Amino acid sequence: TRLILATRNAGKITELHAILADAGLTHELVGADAYPEIPDVKETGVTFAENALLKAHALARATGHPAIADDSGLCVDVLGGAPGIFSARWAGTHGDDQANLDLLLAQLSDIDAPHRAAHFACAAALALPDGTERVVEGRLLGTLRHTPSGTHGFGYDPILQPEGETRTCAELTPAEKNAISHRGLAFRGLVPVVRELVG
């Protein structure tokens, strides 16, 4: 069965292929880029789950195939959970990972180690063309470095050091990150739901 990956984020796509294959999912995964005529959905939700569902429903309706979507972000305790759902456009330009990371580090420059708790959050949504929907969420807790480190991953990975780790997410191998990440947890939780509802 064809399963639409309702995302255009290259970092997510790479991770999702590995996470879903490792979980034994054998569906044909087709990215949103295979449907250039379908416009990007406006992310008008106020939660990760709402935005993930908006993206999954839009692609399922438009393609007639089941679709899965990821809405995710970095939530910083001392900023009251920001950037949160605004993580992809924190510095103004959607998807400018470097600008987003630089701005966040500048905003936190005066905050010292004990107060730099943060977590990544991911909502994994499945939508069927008939409107059926499910969401599974995952989190990765950690602290924020003052200086970026590491070249793997994407987004805020170079500054998030997971609890119990001495390395940042960008210093972990992709397999190490997927084993503990918000995205790994959420999508490994969604796999049995896909098996049940999609086959």
What are the strands, taking DSSP E only, across 45-132? Answer: 67-76, 117-127
Interface map 68-87 toward ligand ITT (x if CB under 6 A): --xxxxx------------x
Q: Which residues, 6 or more positions from 157, have their beta carbon under 8 angstroms from its beta carbon?
A: 150, 168, 169, 170, 177
Stretch that binds Na ion, among 9-17, 35-43, 165-173, 191-199 (CB under 5 A): 35-43
* 188 in a labelled binding site: no
- Torsional class of 158: left (φ above 0), alpha (ψ -120 to 50), beta (otherwise): alpha
The length of the chain is: 199
How many residues contact ligand ITT, by CB under 6 A?
A: 24
Is residue 71 part of the annotated active site? The answer reads yes
Interface map 133-172 toward ligand ITT (x if CB under 6 A): --------------------xxxxx-----------x---
Find which of Na ion, ligand ITT, none residue 161 binds, CB within 5 to 8 Å per kind: none
Stretch that binds Na ion, among 44-52, 53-61, 158-166, 180-188 (CB under 5 A): 44-52
CA atoms within a 13 Å half-sphere pointing along the CA-CB vector of 16:
30
66-102 in b/e form (b: 16+ CB < 10 A) is bbbbbbbbbbbeeeeebbbbebbebbeeeeebeebbe
Site membership for Na ion, residue 70 (CB under 5 A): no
Given the complex with Na ion, which of 74 and 172 has the nearer CB atom? 74
The answer to whether 146 and 125 have CB atoms below 8 angstroms apart is no
Stretch that binds ligand ITT, among 5-13, 59-67, 141-149, 188-196 (CB under 6 A): 5-13
Q: Which of 123, 157, 161 minimizes the C-alpha distance to 142?
A: 161
Catalytic residue list: 71
> What residues are designated binding site for Mg(2+)?
71
Q: Which residues form the interface with Na ion (CB under 5 A)?
A: 43, 51, 71
> What residues are designated binding site for substrate?
7-12, 72, 154-157, 177, 182-183
